[in-house]
Chain A
């Protein structure tokens, strides 16, 4: 918290948000459950990366890089664990750790409360997340993947749209 206060002192116009007890944990678990079970019944829902959106949101809101990257790591590793044996632990963990760090860092310097900013940042972070996953696949797993497809572009937009609404919903979990 001291670190957060330091940041706040430097950027005095940016507010550090706090959440109700269990909000982060509950939101994370719900996101993972949704990611794991909904696509079973609605395949297109797999396009939405709710754990990523949760990572981005709490990173931007808490604005503490350390907690942001740790939260991203935990969410990513849990997502890896739920993704089956074909996905090694660390694939999403690395990507979401980096995203959590970057979201926290950016959130400490920019106003990310506006829906347009959230939309744009979600698209950027989604693309970055996909890039890190792809690099990890190529370099560490020696798996070939394409850098860009229209499906990925559409997924980025869809996730950004979902993020705008999701983030607005999650804003209600903040302490007033």
Chain B
């Protein structure tokens, strides 16, 4: 008050006294829903600063979290990316194993359907190095009783014959090779004619007379005349017929997927075989082997020929390649 002019002292005193009494009032007054007025005023006076402080701190925190703390996020993202890649790899491996199990189950089922026929499961470990020939290499050889000229099939159909045998491996000439041939006949008319390769994906049936009735879509099966394959093994389906002189030019799509072979069955005998059952009873749809297990299980309407083995649906009894090979190995 020393620096205040004397005539203004009373004004300041008035203001101070009034203010004190207002505060006194505020201490006493109690609003019904808001408590004492002093509290209402205090809260009202402080809350803007609290809000501002809270907003400021929140803003700083958000800024820190979204900008400065991104180093951890980046590191975490890197870890998650690696983990994601590992998981993707595991999923791919599991899918591959499931597909393999499906194929092996089909082989096993095929073997059970032809228990009297000695056969051996084998895995394809290599293919021909060039386009001049169509061959595959199997992981079974003479030690596994494989001999030259033995037939090689899959549950879908004929694959080819063994042309070279080593101790632990063997080489198979595929049907699509130009030098390959198999005794065949038309499924309906039973007209017999050898089927051979032409160096392309489709096979050729060479000696069917123009007078014989042949239809596109007709099945072609083994005739058993070559002494390698038993009768009525599926070879393929006719896709194109052209008249020729003196024979028709018939092109056949192989039943077995010769371009994607992974497991095959070697017929362990050089004697003529007679299948006691239609091989198609154990034949799945041609696309089944390339489908994942779950996808295969969703397609039950394929008929008897396409009915999957129980093992292809339930993963528990799925055999490994070794098991499958042992299962089809002759005693």
A residues near B (Cβ < 8 Å) are 3, 6, 64-66, 69-70, 73, 76-77, 88-91, 93-94, 97-98, 101, 104-105, 136, 140-142
B14 near A101: Cβ-Cβ < 8 Å: yes
Q: How far is the CA of A76 from the CA of B21 in the complex (A)?
A: 10
Instruction: Confirm or deny: B271 has a beta carbon within 8 angstroms of a beta carbon on chain A.
Output: no
A89 touches B25 (CB 8 A): yes
Bound together, the chains give a CA A89 to CA B38 distance in angstroms of: 14
Task: Please tell me if B87 contacts chain A, counting CB pairs below 8 Å.
Answer: no
Contacts A65-B10, A66-B9, A140-B37 given; indicate if A97 touches B25 (C-beta within 8 A): no
Is B31 engaged at the interface, CB distance under 8 Å to the other chain?
yes
Chain A contacts for B13, CB-based, 8 A: 65-66, 69-70
A98–B17 Cα gap in the complex (Å)? 9
Give the 4 A-B CB pairs with smallest separation, nearest first. A65-B10, A90-B21, A90-B25, A88-B28
Contact residues of B between 52 and 69, Cβ < 8 Å to A:
none
Taking CB atoms, residues of chain B closer than 8 Å to A90 are 21-22, 24-25, 28
- A–B complex contacts, Cβ < 8 Å, 7 sampled: A3-B6, A66-B9, A66-B13, A91-B25, A94-B21, A98-B14, A98-B18
What is the distance, in angstroms, from B30's C-beta to the closest C-beta of chain A? 10
- What is the bound-complex CA distance between A97 and B25, given in angstroms? 14
Interface string of B24-52 (1 = CB under 8 A from A): 11101101000001000000000000000
A77 to B24, CA, bound (A): 10
State A136–B21 Cα separation when bound (angstroms).
11
Contact of A94 with B22 in the complex, beta carbons under 8 Å: yes
Could you tell me the distance in whole angstroms from the C-beta of A26 to the nearest C-beta in chain B? 23
Residues of B within 8 Å of A70, CB to CB, are: 13, 17
A28 to B119, CA, bound (A): 130
State which size class the interface on B falls in.
Answer: 10 to 19
Contact between chains at B10 and A69 (CB < 8 Å)? yes
Distance (whole angstroms) from the CB of B285 to the closest CB of chain A: 86
- Tell me if B's interface is mostly helix, strand, loop or mixed: helix
Report which of B7, B10, B22 forms a contact with A140, defined as CB distance below 8 A: B22
Chain B residues, CB < 8 A from A141? 25, 29
- Expressed in whole angstroms, the minimum distance between the Cβ of B149 and any Cβ of chain A is 112
Provide the residues of chain B in CB contact with A6, threshold 8 Å.
6-7
**When A66-B13, A88-B29, A101-B14 are in contact, do A93 and B21 touch as well, CB less than 8 Å?**
yes
* Docked pose: A66 CA to B14 CA in angstroms: 8
Bound CA–CA A97/B21 (angstroms):
10
> A81 to B28, alpha carbons, bound, how many Å?
12
Given contacts A3-B6, A66-B9, contact A136 B14 (CB under 8 A): no
**Given A65-B10, A88-B29; 11 other pairs, CB 8 A cutoff:** A6-B7, A65-B14, A66-B13, A69-B10, A88-B24, A89-B21, A89-B24, A90-B24, A94-B18, A94-B21, A104-B10
B331: shortest Cβ distance to chain A, in Å? 105
Contact A140 B26 (CB under 8 A): yes
Residue ID in chain B nearest A100 by CB atoms: B14
Give B202 Cβ to nearest chain A Cβ, in Å: 99
Chain A residues whose C-beta falls within 8 Å of the C-beta of B14 in the assembled complex: 65, 69, 97-98, 101
Bound complex: CA A88 to CA B28 (Å): 6
Give the residue name and chain of the A residue nearest to B6 (CB).
A3
Residues of B contacting A104 with CB < 8 Å? 10
**Most chain B beta carbons < 10 A, residue from A6, A73, A88, A136:** A88
Considering the chains assembled together, what is the distance between the CA atoms of A140 and B41 in angstroms?
Answer: 11
Minimum distance in angstroms from A46 CB to a CB of chain B: 23
Query: How many Å from the CB of B192 to the closest CB on chain A?
Result: 113
Contact A88 B10 (CB under 8 A): no
Name the A residues within 8 Å of B7 (CB-CB): 6
B27 to A: closest C-beta gap in Å: 9
Whether A73 contacts B6 in the complex (CB less than 8 A), given A89-B28, A140-B26, comes out as no
Residues of A within 8 A of B10 (CB): 3, 64-66, 69, 101, 104-105
Name the A residues within 8 Å of B37 (CB-CB).
Answer: 140
Residues on B with beta carbons closer than 8 Å to the beta carbon of A69? 10, 13-14, 17
Chain B residues whose C-beta falls within 8 Å of the C-beta of A73 in the assembled complex: 17, 21
What residues of A have a CB within 8 angstroms of the CB of B21 in the complex? 73, 76-77, 89-90, 93-94, 97
- B25:A88 contact, CB within 8 angstroms: yes
Q: How far is the CB of A23 from chain B (nearest CB, A)?
A: 22
User: In the bound complex, what is the Cα–Cα distance between A136 and B22 (angstroms)?
Assistant: 9
Is B25 a contact partner of A140 (Cβ separation < 8 A)?
yes
Q: Is the beta-carbon distance between A136 and B25 smaller than 8 angstroms?
A: yes
> Nearest Cβ distance between residue B22 and chain A, in whole angstroms?
7
CA distance A88 to B21 in the complex (A): 10
